[in-house]
Amino acid sequence: MFKLISSVLVAAAFAAPFAANAADIERSQALSFIDGSTGFSDGFGASAYKKSFVDSFTFTVGSTFDVTSAVISIKSGNSLGLNINGLTLTSSNGQTYAGTAIASPVPGVTSWMLSTDGLLAGNYTLNVIGSVIGKNGGSFGGNVNITSAVPEASTYALMLSGIALVGGIAYRRKSKTAAPALPNAAMFA
């Protein structure tokens, strides 16, 4: 019985710091892309004032790809505004890519950008992390663009056609500039 109680107390002691770091508001939404691009957004009301949030946007990509994403929030006095603290992309195998805060010359504008290349096919989660600093809430908006990191089949076909054309031209030039055959001795007899 003593071991059980001590185990529970040790587990609670280790779990407490992680629970303290959890966001007050956590939301998740699946993204769908049209021609490799999609937008995302979220808003918070007055009841979210002084609360932290993590919004997770999930998507799946079937081939190797490159990704760029940006998020922005605009503060309006003390009534509306968010403080965006991070933008991350996490793969299903746990690899995390961090975005970068972009300094704005405009007061009250918070923006982040994330860009990374050569990601493998799989499931990904884009996280927007922040806190609500406006008394009446606030909102953010962003976009995600993915492009194929592997050339399409038509690109390979065009490349091979070009190589064949150059090879054919080189072959014809070589055959035209070949030295003429030496005359046959029988021609001079």
How is 123-166 classified by DSSP, letter by letter?
A: EEEEEEEEEE-STT-EEEEEEEEEEESS--HHHHHHHHHHHHHH
Residue 105 or residue 156, greater confidence: 105
CB-based burial, 164-173: b 16+ in 10 Å, e otherwise: eeeeeeeeee
Does 175 have pLDDT greater than 80? no
Pairing type for strands 100-102 and 109-119 reads antiparallel
Q: What is the pLDDT of residue 124?
A: 97
For residue range 89-119, what is the model confidence (pLDDT) as tens digits?
999 999 999 999 999 888 889 999 999 999 9
Residue 15 or residue 181, greater confidence: 181
Q: What is the pLDDT of residue 189?
A: 55
- Residue 107's domain comprises 25-148
Q: What is the distance between the alpha carbons of residues 90 and 97, in angstroms, rounded to a whole number?
A: 6
Q: What is the pLDDT of residue 17?
A: 37
For residue range 4-21, what is the model confidence (pLDDT) as tens digits?
344 333 333 333 333 445
Q: Is 51 part of any domain?
A: yes
Q: What are the start-end ranges of the E strands in the chain?
A: 25-30, 37-44, 52-61, 65-74, 82-91, 96-98, 100-102, 109-119, 122-132, 138-148
Q: Is 181 part of any domain?
A: no
Q: What is the pLDDT of residue 10?
A: 36
Q: What percent of the chain has pLDDT over 90?
A: 58
Q: Is 183 part of any domain?
A: no
Q: Which residue, 63, 68, 69, is CA-closest to 120?
A: 63
Whole-number mean pLDDT of the chain? 82
Q: Is 2 part of any domain?
A: no
In the structure, what pLDDT confidence band is assigned to residue 24 with cuts at 50, 70 and 90? very high
Q: Is 52 part of any domain?
A: yes
- Which residues, in sequence order, are CB contacts of 105 under 8 Å at separation 6+? none
Q: Is 34 part of any domain?
A: yes
Assess contact for 71 and 83: CB atoms under 8 A.
no
Q: What is the distance between the alpha carbons of residues 16 and 14, in angstroms, rounded to a whole number?
A: 6
Q: Is 159 part of any domain?
A: no
For residue range 115-151, what is the model confidence (pLDDT) as tens digits?
999 999 999 999 999 999 999 999 999 999 999 866 6
pTM across the whole model: 0.69
Cα 144 to its chain centre, rounded Å, is 7
Q: Is 112 part of any domain?
A: yes
Burial classification of residue 139, based on how many CB atoms lie within 10 Å of its CB (0-12 exposed, 13-18 middle, 19 or more buried): middle
CATH number at residue 54: 2.60.120.380
Number of domains present in the structure of the chain: 1
